[in-house]
Amino acid sequence: MAHLLETIRCIHCGAKQPIPPAATPEPRGGTACRIPCGDCQHWVYVRGEGRRHPRRKVALPGRLYHHEARDTLDRITVTSLSTGGIGFTTQQYRPVRGVLYDVVFALNDPQNSVIMDTIIIRRVASPVVGAEFYPAATPNHTLDVYMAPDSTAVFRA
């Protein structure tokens, strides 16, 4: 985790300090560790993020389709977005794990860029669904720009 986040700020006294590498285990999505503040000695909790692709919380309306079909299965809300996949909620339809679907949604960037892509469902905890773009190696340059840390897009989520 130290290679991802070099300093932290104590929420109790505001002091900045480096993260001691020995105090931080390798991040596993959501794993928290305690680090003592060097100034006030309160504990600061740091949560590691162990994803391959950083994720951004969003609230983007979209539609879910059977792979290569024209009829809409359900309206969805994309709740999290990364260059590797999406998290979304469904209204009625329950997607099946391991099955290919197509999604269409618009980014909230100045161009309202439309993303039309194939996904494979990896996790279903109805109504919340996690999916990976398929094939994973296919780059989506519009999404890459949108997810860039220095992106100037305005996010309304």
Express each pLDDT in 119-156 by its tens digit: 999 999 989 999 999 986 567 778 877 877 654 444 44
Domain ranges of the chain: 7-47, 56-147
User: How far is Cα of residue 152 from the mean position of the Cα atoms in its chain?
Assistant: 18
Confidence category of residue 15, pLDDT binned at 50, 70, 90: confident
- What's the pLDDT tens digit per position in 40-51? 988 887 766 555
Q: What pLDDT is recorded for position 25?
A: 52
CATH code at 56-147: 2.40.10.220
* In the predicted structure, residue 28 carries a pLDDT above the cut 60: no
Confidence category of residue 4, pLDDT binned at 50, 70, 90: very low
> Are the C-beta atoms of 151 and 145 separated by less than 8 Å?
yes
Distances (CA, A) of 29 to 35, 42, 53, 99: 18, 24, 11, 24
- What's the pLDDT tens digit per position in 52-98? 667 789 999 999 999 989 899 999 999 999 888 999 999 999 999 99
Confidence category of residue 2, pLDDT binned at 50, 70, 90: very low
The strand pairing partners of 130, in sequence order, are 87, 123
